[in-house]
Amino acid sequence: MARKRSLFALASVVVGLFVAFPSAAQAHGSTSDPVSRNYGCWQRWGSDFQNPAMATQDPMCWQAWQDNTNAMWNWNGLYRDGVGGNHQRAVPDGTLCSGGQTEGGRYRSMDTPGNWRATTKPQRFRLNIYDQASHGADYLHVYVTKQGFNPLTQRLRWSDIERVATTGRYAPSNNYAVDVNAGSRTGRHVVFTIWQASHSDQAYYLCSDVNFTQTLRVNSAIQPS
């Protein structure tokens, strides 16, 4: 009986690992710098997600973990299939950060306004995408919220953002980059990125929280072909 209980416990652990960590075949990607909301939560708390300190140290991640842990375990799967380039029809106002509440609402906590952990960036910066599965990209569209938008209290709408960068195709790789000019924006903003993957009609919708300064800094990564 003890041996059966041990085998059952081992099987439960193995099943749990498959649920928590997507296999390489299922892997996709996200914005890595400035980091997207759910990828940032996974980076900071993935190995410590039961720590009650998260509630005070990182309250937006805390509410996200409580709502649906798979939004973080599957940080690389915030996409919609078959959009056909009509992103505004597929993703209604107020749901941009969850990709129109894709995957049955798995990522809906990403739409919640609040004090998300923000990355400090200059007004001119380089945005990086981590493509775990090397899907390639037909294009990247990068938007930034208009001055006056308050991510602490407002859900993101299409009318709140302006496109500041667009690219051509990228050959399959693990990292893609695009130079972004946020103009005269200062303070807290949301960078909203659409990554149209090349392997199929699969569009990723990625929200990154930033705090704009006027200090120039450029990091390196692969540019489009």
Percent of the chain with pLDDT over 70: 83
Strands 187-197 and 124-131 come out as: unpaired
pLDDT value for 142 = 98
Q: Where are the alpha helices (DSSP H) in the chain?
A: 2-20, 37-45, 54-57, 59-67, 70-73, 87-90, 102-105
CA 120 to chain centre: 17
Question: What are the residues facing 181 on neighbouring strands?
Answer: 124
Q: Domain locations in the chain?
A: 31-213
Query: Other CB atoms closer than 10 Å to residue 172's CB: what's the count?
Result: 14
**Confidence band for 24, pLDDT divided at 50, 70 and 90:** very low
Q: Model confidence over 105-133: pLDDT tens digits?
A: 999 999 999 999 999 999 999 999 999 88
Q: Model confidence over 45-78: pLDDT tens digits?
A: 999 999 999 999 999 999 999 999 999 999 999 9
Q: Which of 38-52, 117-131, 139-153, 204-218 has the lowest mean pLDDT?
A: 204-218
State the average pLDDT over residues 161-182: 96
pLDDT value for 134 = 87
Q: Which of 2.60.40.10, 3.90.550.10, 2.70.50.50, 2.130.10.10 is the CATH number of 31-213?
A: 2.70.50.50
Angle between helices 59-67 and 37-45 (to 10 degrees): 90
DSSP 3-state of 194: strand
Q: Model confidence over 152-169: pLDDT tens digits?
A: 999 999 999 999 999 999
